[in-house]
Amino acid sequence: MRIGMGYDVHRLTEGRKLILGGVDIPYEKGLLGHSDADVLIHAVMDALLGAAGLDDIGKHFPDTDERYRGISSIRLLEYVRELLKAQGLAVGNIDATVIAQRPKMRPYIDQMRKNMADALEIPVENINVKATTEEGLGFTGEGLGIAAQAICLIS
């Protein structure tokens, strides 16, 4: 068994969609980034790549590469699944936390889990998503950005 962790932050800005766990969440702002800036999936991918000893998403999907402009991070997660598969590695479970002051994540959590489980071809029970605020403190608390953390086991 191997363990991995991932962490990511993206800035909230007007004129962008808010995509988290592959769910398009209605909100006045969205996350800025080269891809769809799905901070949750980015943290999950970094956890998986870390566990596999395969560097990080910055290496596999550089933000200077036009192929990844605006790409759905679900597609990138599928690519990571294939990288792990090629190494004979299977995903055990994943636990992740989205850190955001707003919007409320609860209504979207189950769909996020399903989207990521489908992309990874694992049972939805093996992927957990939580959400928390930071009580108005710091950049997430001030609504300037959203952070995500993830941890996983692979074997």
Closest contact distance (angstroms) between CB of 146 and Mg ion is: 10
Residue 118 and residue 58: Cα distance in Å, rounded?
23
Nearest to 126 by CA among 139, 115, 113: 113
The two structure tokens encoding residue 59: 């290496």
Both tokens assigned to 79 = 């690519």
- Flag whether 98 is marked binding: no
- Residue 65 is labelled as binding a ligand: yes
> Min. distance of Cβ 33 from Mg ion in angstroms?
6
What is the distance between the alpha carbons of residues 123 and 9, in angstroms, rounded to a whole number? 27
Determine, following the binding rule CB under 5 A, whether residue 38 of this chain makes contact with Mg ion.
no
Residue 8 as a binder of Mg ion (CB under 5 A): the answer is yes
Q: Which stretch binds Mg ion (CB under 5 A): 5-13, 15-23, 120-128, 145-153?
A: 5-13
CB closest to Mg ion, residue no: 42
Q: Per the annotation, does 13 bind a ligand?
A: no
- State which residue, 11 or 114, has the beta carbon closest to Mg ion: 11
Token digits for 106? Answer: 């609860």
**46: contact with Mg ion by CB under 5 A:** no
42 near Mg ion (CB under 5 A): yes
Q: Is 135 annotated as belonging to a binding site?
A: yes
Tokens of 82: 């294939």
Report DSSP state, residue 71.
-
Question: Is 36 near Mg ion (CB under 5 A)?
Answer: no
Report the alpha-carbon distance of residue 115 to residue 136 in Å, rounded.
Answer: 29
Phi then psi for 20, rounded to 5 degrees? -135, 125
Q: Which is nearer to Mg ion, 120 or 147 (CB)?
A: 147
Site residues, Mg ion (CB under 5 A)? 8, 42
Annotated binding site for a divalent metal cation: 8, 10, 42
